[in-house]
């Protein structure tokens, strides 16, 4: 939970645009990789210095620069001056606690969004991805090297890929599409976890079921926080106000927008389902509990008058005629059986058993 705020206050009082990496160092060394392509071919490079990137800046080809690792502030700074990026954007790239947003700086668009990296375990890590969309280049900033964009890279490499004939805006769309499609995987895993939990609740509701429901709720809360603002980002992008995005690409962007809404819808549905499950679990527990108490209380209630009766004939009064009767003892048994039978019948008739 503290990760929502930790590191937030570290910068108070510093001038704006002061670069400071807020987040964990997830990789050891910052890696820069470049894909430069047009319909005729693809060039891939891993430049050692930021200076080498300058070559790609004013070419007719589409250039995708991918930076993995954010802790080396100098590299980010140099890329910023290289591509004329506003210091506030650099600051935002380094601050990994940002909510998704879109900012239009005229000659480039800046988009922040979140990706969920499954670590093998159940609870995916939230990673921040920054995308800068220029005239003929796209720069992406990631916290770690993961396989998310590998399929896209393969697609670009393949000979007749349509993407090779289209501009930087289409590349940006392809990146956004990949990230949003990845949400569906995460949601599917989450949906299965919820389904399993529901099945488990029916079979054997235990104390820790509640803990699990609450954990899932918390996780949904995190997802929602990461996804909700994306709706607006995609909506704004799809309205096509920036000349950097072609009319033809807008159709695709709106498709991503649709997917984003579906993701958010599904999250809402999950939340409703979890609330319903919690209600049902709690009321189920309480109803079952009450039933147990009722049965136990009925048992006590049947025996208490009987215990009284045998107490009566355990008294030591000198003159107790019943004690001397020959059939007194069996008679008292009969009386007690009658009493308990009557009580049980009454309880049963009133549906107390």
Under rule CB under 8 A, which residues in 186-205 are in contact with a second copy? Answer: 186-188, 190-192, 194-195, 198
Number of residues that bind a second copy (CB under 8 A): 115
Does residue 128 belong to the site contacting a second copy (CB under 8 A)?
no
What are the residues whose beta carbons fall under 8 Å from the beta carbon of 313, sequence distance 6 or more? 320, 322, 323, 328, 332
Does residue 106 belong to the site contacting a second copy (CB under 8 A)?
no
Q: How far is the CB of 137 from a second copy (least distance, A)?
A: 21
| Span of 31-39, 74-82, 232-240, 272-280 interacting with a second copy by CB under 8 A | 272-280
Which listed residue (308, 338, 339, 342) binds a second copy by CB under 8 A? 308
Q: What share of the chain is helix, strand, coil (3-state, %, to 5)?
A: 60, 15, 25
- The one-character DSSP state at 115 is E
Does residue 31 belong to the site contacting a second copy (CB under 8 A)?
no
Between 174 and 244, name the residue whose CB sits nearer to a second copy: 174
Beta strands in 105-211 (DSSP E): 109-117, 125-133, 137-142
Phi-psi region of 66 (alpha: psi -120 to 50; beta: other; left: phi over 0): beta
CB 33 within 8 A of CB 44: yes
**Residues in contact with a second copy, shown as a per-residue x/- string from 232 to 251 under the rule CB under 8 A:** -------------------x
DSSP lists the bridge partners of residue 127 as 115
Between 4 and 60, name the residue whose CB sits nearer to a second copy: 4
**Cα dist. 131→85, 102, 113, 173, 223 in Å?**
12, 10, 8, 11, 20
Give the separation between CA 249 and CA 48, rounded to whole angstroms.
33
Q: Which two tokens stand for residue 58?
A: 């004013």
Between 119 and 286, name the residue whose CB sits nearer to a second copy: 286
Give the separation between CA 165 and CA 163, rounded to whole angstroms.
5
DSSP lists the bridge partners of residue 132 as 110, 139
Q: State which of positions 143-162 bind a second copy (CB under 8 A).
A: 150-152, 155, 161-162
Q: State which of positions 200-229 bind a second copy (CB under 8 A).
A: 207, 210-211, 214, 217-218, 221, 225
Question: Would you call 132 exposed, middle or buried from its count of C-beta atoms within 10 A (0-12, 13-18, 19+)?
Answer: buried
Which listed residue (20, 39, 54, 299) binds a second copy by CB under 8 A? 299
**CA-based nearest residue to 39, from 141, 135, 132, 170:** 170
Does residue 60 belong to the site contacting a second copy (CB under 8 A)?
no
Which listed residue (101, 117, 123, 250) binds a second copy by CB under 8 A? 101
Q: How far is the CB of 151 from a second copy (least distance, A)?
A: 3
Q: How far is the CB of 77 from a second copy (least distance, A)?
A: 15
Between 78 and 271, name the residue whose CB sits nearer to a second copy: 271
| Span of 44-52, 55-63, 130-138, 260-268 interacting with a second copy by CB under 8 A | 260-268
Between 310 and 345, name the residue whose CB sits nearer to a second copy: 310
Which listed residue (52, 55, 243, 329) binds a second copy by CB under 8 A? 329
């Amino acid at each position: 939970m503290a990760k929502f705020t930790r590191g937030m206050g570290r910068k108070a009082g510093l001038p704006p645009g002061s670069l400071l990496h807020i987040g964990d160092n997830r990789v050891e060394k910052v890696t820069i990789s470049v894909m430069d392509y047009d319909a005729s071919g693809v060039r891939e490079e891993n430049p050692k210095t930021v200076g080498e990137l300058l070559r790609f800046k004013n070419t007719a080809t589409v250039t995708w620069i991918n930076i993995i690792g954010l802790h080396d502030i100098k590299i980010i700074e140099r890329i910023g001056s290289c591509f004329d990026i506003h210091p506030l954007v650099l600051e935002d790239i380094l601050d990994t606690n940002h909510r998704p947003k879109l900012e239009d700086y005229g000659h480039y668009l800046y988009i922040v969004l979140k990706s969920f990296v499954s670590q093998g375990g159940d609870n995916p890590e939230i990673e921040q991805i920054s995308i800068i969309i220029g005239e003929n280049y796209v720069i992406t900033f990631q916290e770690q090297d993961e396989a998310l964009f590998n399929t896209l890279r393969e697609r670009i490499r393949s000979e007749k890929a349509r993407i090779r004939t289209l501009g930087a805006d289409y590349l940006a769309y392809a990146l956004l599409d990949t990230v949003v499609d990845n949400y569906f995987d995460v949601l599917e895993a989450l949906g299965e976890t919820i389904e399993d939990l529901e099945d488990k609740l029916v079979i054997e509701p235990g104390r820790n079921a509640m803990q699990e429901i609450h954990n899932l709720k918390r996780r949904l809360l995190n997802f929602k926080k990461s996804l909700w603002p994306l709706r607006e980002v995609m909506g704004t992008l799809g309205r096509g106000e920036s000349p950097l995005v072609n009319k033809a690409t807008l159709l695709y962007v709106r498709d991503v927008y649709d997917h984003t809404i579906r993701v958010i819808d599904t999250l809402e549905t999950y939340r409703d389902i979890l609330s319903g499950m919690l209600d049902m679990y709690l009321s189920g527990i309480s109803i079952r509990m009450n039933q147990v108490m009722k049965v136990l209380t009925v048992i006590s209630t049947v025996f208490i008058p009987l215990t009284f009766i045998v107490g009566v004939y355990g008294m030591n009064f000198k003159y107790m005629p019943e004690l001397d009767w020959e059939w007194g003892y069996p008679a008292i048994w009969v009386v007690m059986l009658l009493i308990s039978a009557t009580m049980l019948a009454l309880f049963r008739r009133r549906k107390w058993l």
